[in-house]
Amino acid sequence: MMAKTGVFDGGPAARAAELKRELQRLVMTIVDREDEGDDDVSSVGTIDRAMETMCVLKELKKCKGGGGGGGGSLKVTFACPEEFRCPISKELMRDPVIVATGQTYDRPFIQRWLKEGHRTCPQTQQVLSHTLLVPNLLVREMISQWCKTRGIQLPDPVQYSNEDGLTEADREYFLSLLNKMSSTLSDQKEAAKELRCLTKRIPSFRQLFGESLYAIPQLLTPLSQPQTESDNCDTHPDLQEDVITTLLNLSIHDNNKKFVAETTMVIPLLMDALRSGTIETRSNAAAALFTLSALDSNKALIGKSGALKPLIELLEEGHPLAMKDVASAIFNLCIIHENRARAVRDGAVRAILEKILNGVHIDELLAILAILSSNPKAVEEMGEFGGVPCLLGIIRDSTCARNKENGIAILHTICFSDRNTWKAMREEENKFQTISQLAKNGTSRAKRKASGILERLNRAVNLTHTA
């Protein structure tokens, strides 16, 4: 297979003349060695070089009339050693880099592979323990020397635009910031603020954290070190806020969600941040748990870690800045069944009903209550904590069809689980026809649930009369 090479300096005619002279010299060398009976490896190498030169000359002749005049540049193809080709592109590597499995690829092509979401080595299919790309200086030097002896100009790797838009200087700066996270307090503060800004403004910097197993642990160094009474996060809340917010920025990147959550220190430190620091820190910690919980595997991991309890405690506090992020995180986590039992055990039902009664974030909290209503203990607590009159009031007074639908869906579950609530439902129906109105005018799901409640209530009345 032929691969594209770099760009030759000078016009095609001058280059052709140079190639002819080189070919003539190589042929004479071959003939002289044959006459002397020399058939060693160096003679074979000379023959290979002569064949390569002929290939280049042939391609040059083909392209001579096609825009190569006037001293312009001309791209040609040639046969190069297989070990110099990128396994992905099959072309001569300009910037060879080594991945975690030890295989070498041309940087732009392996970057594209990783950017597409692959976490395996294209050649071995092994899962990559990290996505750090290490320059293969030895192979690059071998390619450079090989090109030099053949008059081929190999462009500098910096001239190639990376798929992620980052230069080597960007990567070096990134690594220097991470190193500062293990330095003095002033360096840590400076680096944390800069990493927060970079990961917010430039998506490619979020991706960089996935290129090394050690990047996130380095970021978290100031928060994970043993603290003394005189040197803790309460003393330096701005440092904690910048680090936690950087974690939030990282978790937005889809390819980061799994390994961020699975980094040992991340979830415990997010839980600590939910309880301490500035309200921005606590809110951003909740937001990070929300974005990480987009993956079902992360939902289970976060739930098992005990993160629902501090989330519910923050919900109970009711700070306006944190409420939406906290509610979103709890809702996402409760999508999987096992986390619903954990949320109920940690006091979610009482906390949510109190906020709804106070008119706080009714839409989001009612959605959580609806998903929790599949848990028998949650239904029992809704009856105990005044959930029925609260829900009937929402259905009666709200103008939001979604809230009415969630409210009646929860009442439907309560109705079929706790007959002690039927009296309140009948009184509401007799006084306001709340459920009947929804059975006529609600969404299709709301109509079904409302009709089911009415049927159940009417059947109970008929049974009483019969008895």
Identical fold for domains 174-221+237-342 and 347-466, yes or no, is yes
pLDDT band for position 56 (cuts 50, 70, 90): low
Share of the chain above pLDDT 70, in %: 82
Share of the chain above pLDDT 90, in %: 54
Q: What is the CATH number of domain 82-150?
A: 3.30.40.10
1.25.10.10, 2.60.40.1180, 1.10.1740.10, 3.40.50.2300: CATH of 174-221+237-342: 1.25.10.10
Q: Is the dihedral of CA 204, 206, 209, 211 positive or negative?
A: negative
CA nearest neighbour of 395 among 361, 437, 360, 427: 437
Whether the per-residue pLDDT at 156 is higher than 70: the answer is no
Residue 126 phi, psi dihedral angles, 5° rounding: -75, 145
> What confidence tens digit (pLDDT) does each residue in 138-148 have?
998 888 888 88
Return the pLDDT at 44. Answer: 65
> What confidence tens digit (pLDDT) does each residue in 363-421 have?
999 999 999 999 999 999 999 999 999 999 999 999 999 999 999 999 999 998 888 88
> What confidence tens digit (pLDDT) does each residue in 26-38 have?
777 777 766 555 5
Residue 417, burial from CB neighbour count under 10 angstroms (0-12, 13-18, 19+) = middle
Residues near 387 by Cβ (< 8 Å), separated by ≥ 6?
Answer: 349, 353, 369, 381, 410, 414
Domains in the chain: boundaries = 82-150, 174-221+237-342, 347-466
Q: Is the dihedral of CA 302, 308, 310, 312 positive or negative?
A: positive
Whether the per-residue pLDDT at 100 is higher than 90: the answer is no
Return the pLDDT at 3. Answer: 37
Least confident interval from 90-94, 163-167, 284-288: 163-167
Domain with residues 347-466, CATH architecture = Alpha Horseshoe (1.25)
Which residues are bridge partners to 120 per DSSP? 127
CA distances from 383 to 148, 376, 390, 428 (A): 83, 11, 10, 16
**Is the CB of residue 74 less than 8 Å from the CB of residue 168?**
no
Helices vs. strands in the chain: H and E counts, helices first: 25, 5
Whether the per-residue pLDDT at 84 is higher than 70: the answer is yes
> What confidence tens digit (pLDDT) does each residue in 239-297 have?
999 999 999 999 998 888 998 999 999 999 999 999 998 999 999 999 999 999 999 99
In terms of pTM, does the model score above 0.85?
Answer: no
